[in-house]
Structure 1
């Protein structure tokens, strides 16, 4: 199939989510070659026009908060940065499930969903925008907000006007270790956050990305770039430096640091975050985080770099290794993880069998 005019905005349950250049999304299963059309998101995003001109630029005309904007962007990833930050599914469309497609959009301020059988998108009534991440698990939607709270909605429940019912609002203290580390590295980079369901536990992954990193892993400031000791070919504009992993203790309402994932591996990036067992994926390294580049706001800032920030992180020894060796550091569009739903289903019994569970600090 031809996807030249489309932008991948998510991966979930073995399906890819694409956005066509006229703001019409669709689902695609690369393993079964099935395509499912979805309702247009032009009204949801306030788009009056989204077209590609002869120069390859995207012309955008949209309304936001009663203000009209018109501008041009060069790449499809910039379109994604502007409008849709994440797209996930609550189920598997190929199994005739009553699934929903959920979007984190409009600068992470809004969450919208489309339920199978309907021809529209509905904006969820949220309480604590903007949001850092969303995930679907057991027909419930979890959203992590910037104020560290987690909102939970029941995707199977509706009120009298058909809106999704808010189930709970959990306010949590931010993990002290990550807070302290972030403060000590302030001015060197930014953090990204991911929610991952793993064997019925809810994990929080904190990923620190240095704004400028030497190839030996040393964090640099903009001032360092001006000194004679730093030469441009040795500088990467942004790069992941470390991860912290936590599990939510629902009884104590706090994040507990995880020392080891045992036989699990995590996959993070532009996809719905996934935990897998290396028993089902023998080529995966245990106790590791596989990550791809999802820094949409920085991918077009540098001519030589973009989409390059990917690798394998070992939680035990805090080491990094490449997934593949690339001849170029400008990788557009960036890779996106996709895992066949049948392989994920085969792991359900393994979660019960892995009795040791996680090791905590």
Structure 2
């Protein structure tokens, strides 16, 4: 029922925190505020695949490539469509990311689906990623050769881009990904999960650990632990 949840801030320390939810049916959007007693449906579009929060705005992208922007902090919803419909049929999944240097990035993920009828399951294998800069002025996507000294995290979590200078254990110009293929996760629960790290420069994929310990688990996500007691 619930695909992805994105927070505007830490709800334990911010009374103005807002939660944006991508949910079924049809991957629609609803939001709720700390202290509120209900979810509020945003009847603007459907088949949303990703959402992020930045500088007071939620940015949500649909499977057809439309980017919607929402400011939910006031008494009424402020909504803008900031990017037109662009669909790439050669891609399997896409994400929207706030670049640390400014602007928005669109991340496209290509996969290979391996069906195993004798076991009644399917295995999704990531082949690589493509990174595009969103040019709002020209209303087009500009292909990037890499993201330099940064690393991307994508999956069922909110998509993020981090500087390896601030996080030196991360590899630059890499995408850390988890399995978020809807059909595999929910219809083939015993299938191996697609988790790994991809070098954007040459699209080589490596596993995070081997053997994989999450083969029969729920879809894994990335999270940021707090070490402050």
**Is TM (by shorter chain) over 0.5?**
yes
Is 1:298 the equivalent of 2:189? no
- Runs of 5+ consecutive residues of structure 1 not aligned to the other structure: 1-82, 183-189, 213-221, 227-231, 343-361
The separation in 2 between residues aligned to 1:337 and 1:138, in whole angstroms, is 22
- The 5 Å alignment of 1:179-258 reads 179=89, 182=90, 191-199=92-100, 200-212=102-114, 237-258=123-144
The question of whether the paired residues in 1 share the 8 Å contact of 2:27 and 2:49 is answered with no
Residue of 294, 298, 318 corresponding to 2:203: 318
Cα distance in 2 for partners of 1:154, 1:323 equals 37
Which blocks of at least 5 consecutive residues in structure 2 are unaligned?
none
Question: C-alpha separation between the residues in 1 aligned to 2:49 and 2:30?
Answer: 15
Contact persistence 2:111–2:125 (CA under 8 A): yes
CA 291–109 in structure 1, closer or farther in 2 if over 3 Å, else same:
closer
1: CA distance, partners of 2:4 / 2:98:
16
* Contact kept? 1:108, 1:132, Cα under 8 Å: no
Q: Using the alignment, how far apart are the partners of 2:24 and 2:194 within structure 1?
A: 24
What is aligned with 1:174?
86
Listed one character per residue, the Cα deviations across residues 9-48 of structure 1 (whole Å, up to 9, x for unaligned) are: xxxxxxxxxxxxxxxxxxxxxxxxxxxxxxxxxxxxxxxx
User: CA RMSD for the aligned pairs?
Assistant: 2.7
Structure 1 residues 109, 305: closer, same or farther in 2, change over 3 A?
A: closer
1:261 aligns to what SS in structure 2?
Answer: coil
* The structure with more helix, counted as a fraction of residues: 1
Give 1:265 deviation, angstroms: 0.1
Contact 2:64 2:85 in 1 (8 A): no
Q: Per-residue CA shift, 1:299-331, capped at 9, x if unaligned?
A: 35447524x201000011211111111255624
Is 1:262 paired with 2:179?
A: no
Match of residue 33, structure 2, among 105, 109, 115 = 115
When Rg is computed on C-alpha atoms for both structures, the one with the higher figure is 1
In structure 2, C-alpha distance between the alignment counterparts of 1:134 and 1:300, rounded to whole Å: 21
Corresponding pairs, count? 226
Query: CA offsets, 1:44-89, max 9 Å, x none?
Result: xxxxxxxxxxxxxxxxxxxxxxxxxxxxxxxxxxxxxxx1111110
Q: Which residue of 1 aligns with 2:4?
A: 86
| Correspondence 1:266-281 to 2 at 5 A | 266-281=152-167
Q: 1:91 touches 1:97 (CA, 8 Å); kept in 2? A: no
Structure 2 residue matching 1:156: 3-state secondary structure = coil
Structure 1 residue corresponding to 2:71, chosen from 135, 154, 157: 154
- Relative to the length of structure 1, the TM-score reads 0.57
> In the TM superposition, what is the alpha-carbon distance from 1:341 to its structure 2 partner?
7.2
Q: C-alpha separation between the residues in 2 aligned to 1:254 and 1:341?
A: 38
Counterpart contact for 1:85–1:107, Cα < 8 Å: no
* TM-superposed deviation, 1:108: 3.8
Moved beyond 4 Å, runs of 4+: 300-304
Counterparts of 1:196 and 1:205, CA distance in 2: 8
